[in-house]
Amino acid sequence: MKLNQIARELNGELVGDTDLVITGLAKIEQAGPGELTFLANPKYSKFLKETKASAVLVARDQENIQIPHIKVDDPYLAFLIILEKFNPPQQPNFSGTHSTAVIDPTATIAKNARIGPLVFIGRNVSIGEDTTIYPGCVLLDSVSIGGNCILYPNVSIRERCIIGDNVIIHNGTVIGSDGFGFAPVGDTYRKIPQMGIVRIEDDIEIGANCTIDRATLGETIIKQGCKLDNLIQIAHNVVIEENTVIAAQTGVSGSTKIGKNVTLAGQVGTVGHITIGDKAIVAAKSGVSKSIPPGEVWFGYPAQQITRQKKVEASLRNLPELMKRTHQLEKALIELEEKLKKNERGK
């Protein structure tokens, strides 16, 4: 790609050789001749002089650039856009519906969808335009998948679950397994039938080997724009609002409601039936046992507001010293009491 094509693509202001041919992309400290790089973080400004890149994406107000460059609003975002142009997602080696896929005749599959080898598709399943189902996926009866989705290998989706448009689900993830519900009967347990579904809205990415349980009644819902990492557990009847991000190995217990633009870091656990407010942040490995108000940052086990938690941790580090100080106080007090007694006797 020529530099002026890239500038046009990005709606950027090109300074330098318009016909320069860009052959690859790299980070500023690693880029070599022919490569385009970017400067987003001022910490990396020092590399601007040293870089061997042939061109650089910079912010509109960046000055003192010796090499050809394109000025854009957000250099990192611009870099990502060009990165994708250079690396279009590879198309798999199957198209249409593969002869080894087992597809129920009642299923409705869009013309441009790709159903890979060794896929199972049950009764009344519907699959939208441009969706790709990789080998080993299993979609049981009445599952609905929107358009432009990717289901990577070995994803399985239970009956009646609904997936929106532009959803990516990584390998091995399970959608719609039974919620964990049992009623005690004496010393044993009786299964509570899990008759609801899972609804995944649009523009969502779900990592590998996650488990998202169907509702007991009604729906477990993940709303538009959420991003989930790997090995995450979402229990029955959980609702996660728009654009929430959840890192790996986190677990959300039954009926908990998570707001919009929340961040749950890795290995977090929450109890059931609580609410985590919009834009709240829960730091890694926290155990959340009560509701969190919107916008707050929580941390710890049990989790509390991070400022309180940090104070406790600081005192905790000083705890052995505090023990010593208390011991010295006790000694000093006893000495003082004895002195006082002596004084009194002395009178």
Binds its own copies by CB under 8 A, chosen from 1, 15, 65, 195: 195
Distance from C-alpha of 209 to C-alpha of 177, rounded to nearest angstrom? 13
By the 8 A CB rule, do 291 and 302 touch? no
Count of positions (residues) in the chain: 347
Q: Which of 69, 98, 170, 236 is catalytic?
A: 236
Stretch that binds its own copies, among 5-13, 54-62, 64-72, 119-127 (CB under 8 A): 119-127
Nearer to its own copies, 152 or 298 (CB): 152
- C-alpha triplet 27, 33, 35: angle, nearest 5°: 45
User: Closest distance between its own copies and the C-beta of residue 53, in Å?
Assistant: 14
By the 8 A CB rule, do 36 and 22 touch? yes
Binds its own copies by CB under 8 A, chosen from 2, 273, 290, 325: 325
By the 8 A CB rule, do 191 and 182 touch? yes
Closest CA to 164 of 214, 201, 110: 201
- Chain positions 48 to 77 lying near its own copies, rule: CB under 8 A, are 76-77
By the 8 A CB rule, do 228 and 206 touch? yes
Asked if 291 touches its own copies (CB under 8 A), the answer is: no
Which amino acid makes up residue 8? R
Nearer to its own copies, 18 or 77 (CB): 77
User: Closest distance between its own copies and the C-beta of residue 119, in Å?
Assistant: 8
Asked if 117 touches its own copies (CB under 8 A), the answer is: yes
Nearer to its own copies, 4 or 40 (CB): 40
Binds its own copies by CB under 8 A, chosen from 13, 41, 316, 338: 316
Asked if 203 touches its own copies (CB under 8 A), the answer is: yes
Closest CA to 159 of 215, 114, 231, 112: 215
Asked if 337 touches its own copies (CB under 8 A), the answer is: yes
Helix/strand/coil for 77: helix
Asked if 41 touches its own copies (CB under 8 A), the answer is: no
Give the single-character DSSP code of 57. Answer: E
Nearer to its own copies, 15 or 217 (CB): 217
Asked if 205 touches its own copies (CB under 8 A), the answer is: yes
Burial of 304 (0-12, 13-18, 19+ CB in 10 A): buried
Q: Which residue has the tokens 């005690």?
A: 184
69 as an active site residue: the answer is: no
Helix/strand/coil for 206: strand
- Chain positions 244 to 263 lying near its own copies, rule: CB under 8 A, are 245, 247-249, 251, 253, 260-261
Binds its own copies by CB under 8 A, chosen from 15, 271, 274, 297: 271
Stretch that binds its own copies, among 44-52, 54-62, 63-71, 88-96 (CB under 8 A): 88-96
What are the catalytic residues? 236
